[in-house]
Structure 1
Amino acid sequence: MTSFDDLVARARRLAVPGERHLLGLCGPPGAGKSTLAQRLVDALGEPAVYVGMDGFHLAQVELNRLGRAERKGAPDTFDAAGYVHLLARLRAHRAGEVVYAPEFRREIEEPIACAVPVPPEVPLVITEGNYLLLPDPPWSRVRPLLDEVWFLAPDEDLRIRRLIERHRAFGRSLEAARGRALGSDQANADRVNPTAHSSDLVLRKIP
């Protein structure tokens, strides 16, 4: 099994001073993407910044207007073009330019604009999300902007337990948490899992 130290060493090879590289972590809901992203950033220190795809969730008021609130987390509930534009700006790495990325706050279930600064001297951006490898436009424009993509594919029972625990932690009843994990979350997972073949590394167990 690939160790966490192996993953840190692989990420560190992308953190070339004076350059800008992007590492993507992909996988279904509950795979552990955000946890691994934060662990990598903590291990690498100043050379890395974590920018999540979830910052491009449409606001709840817009999801309600579009009639998509019950499918929150599906591909069409994100500003995918905005995410692509941000990745392109990050990759362009213009001298002296701080790029500000949004952040999703689970405690309020809303994205917050300009919450994550990416200074020009940071050589590695670690981004994560469900749809980094989705072949449908505009998501299909994400993969060419990433230097590497790692796909997280943990045991399914573990992944679903994590999802239920997450939903419970943010106020859902056990019944509602199970319904979400086995309903819309599972539908999104079924769409994401076939994209694993487009990744550079598949992690069956997260060290």
Structure 2
Amino acid sequence: MQQHQRAAFLQAGFGKARLAHGACLRRSAPRRPALTCRAQQVVSGSCYEDIIESLADRALRGADASGRRRIIGIAGGPGSGKSTLALAVVASLNARRPGSAAVLPMDGFHYYRRELDAMSDPKEAHARRGAPWTFDAAKFVGAVARVRGAGAGEVVRVPSFDHGVGDPVEADIAIPAEAAVVVVEGNYVLLPDAPWSSLLPLLDEAWFVDCPLDTAMERVFQRQTGIGLAPEVSRVRIATNDRPNAELIAASKHRATLLVPSTVPFRSGRGAAA
């Protein structure tokens, strides 16, 4: 990270860890006009299944109209339901046309634990894992650029994240050549700070999963305690990491072309997407 970028992170309260240099973009890709809030819409539906299907329709229409791969970014804070939405839209598209869609998640671009150990304040780096500076943003942008610039018949492989081990798994996800729609999903897809800001010009559309902050944080609490974290530890983690990250992410939602509500219940009767 360049010095002025690191300073900006520190001023925003992201801690004192020194971010290692990310990988350079492996190839150049066509630049696209940056999306702005002027085209922003709010999607609606009587249930979450309707929202999923309408978004799948929208993605497919765009791909058919352009005749080329369509890349859609989905951003949202922790607990907003962005991963649920991305997987559901892709599942709907693949049910209609097998192999037509794929997800490229941001999770695989966490810095490895050994890289956090090498930062100037390893304790803080591990405690703040999930903050923007604990991801290899340049590597993430590079992967999206490779998907955008992929030639005919080219399969692009990207990393996944093993939550059991706590580290990425390189080249674990294949973006097939026939995928007409690729959904790029992650907290910081719309962040205006470099190098994250290089993502938006690579996207055809950007969707923001809009969820009340307190609702999202309660979902995070339920998730963390559900896997065995002590309630008091979860509350501290949320207050010192998850909530500040969510506030930062919410400040970028005006950069999306579409707002997707996250509190609409499913027709099946289960709660809203989380």
Match in the other structure for 2:209: 152
Unaligned runs of 5+ in 1: none
Q: Would the aligned equivalents of 1:18 and 1:121 in 2 still touch at CA under 8 Å?
A: no
User: Within the alignment, does 1:85 sit opposite 2:142 as a pair?
Assistant: yes
> What SS class does the counterpart of residue 68 from structure 2 fall into?
coil
Report Cα offsets for 1:114-162 as digits up to 9, x if no partner: 1111121111111111111111111110111111111111122321111
Alpha-carbon distance, 1:174 to partner: 1.3
So what's the TM-score if we normalise by structure 2?
0.72
* 2:72 is equivalent to residue 23 of structure 1: yes
- For these two proteins, the number of residue pairs brought into alignment is 207
Partner residue of 1:120 out of 159, 177, 181: 177
- 1:162 counterpart = 2:210: no
1:13 partnered with 2:13 = no
- 1:40 & 1:7 partners in 2: Cα distance? 7
TM-score, scaled to structure 1: 0.93
1:73 maps to 130
Shift of 1:93: 2.3
Deviation per residue, 1:14-49 (Å, 9 max, x gap): 343962111111011111111111111111112100
Give the Cα–Cα distance (whole angstroms) in 2 for the partners of residues 54 and 107 of structure 1: 13
How far apart are the structure 1 equivalents of 2:127 and 2:209?
Answer: 25
- Compute the displacement of 1:173 (Å): 1.2
Give the match for residue 114 of structure 2. 61
Quick check: 1:110 aligned with 2:158? Answer: no
**RMSD of aligned alpha carbons:** 1.6
Mapped to 1, the partners of 2:72 and 2:114 lie a distance apart of: 32
CA distance in 2, matches of 1:98, 1:206: 36
Tell me the amino acid that sits aligned with residue 161 of structure 1.
E
SS of 1:14's partner is helix
Q: Give the corresponding residue for 1:50.
A: 103
Query: What letter corresponds to residue 202 of structure 1 in structure 2?
Result: L
Q: Distance in 1 between matches of 2:128 and 2:100?
A: 36
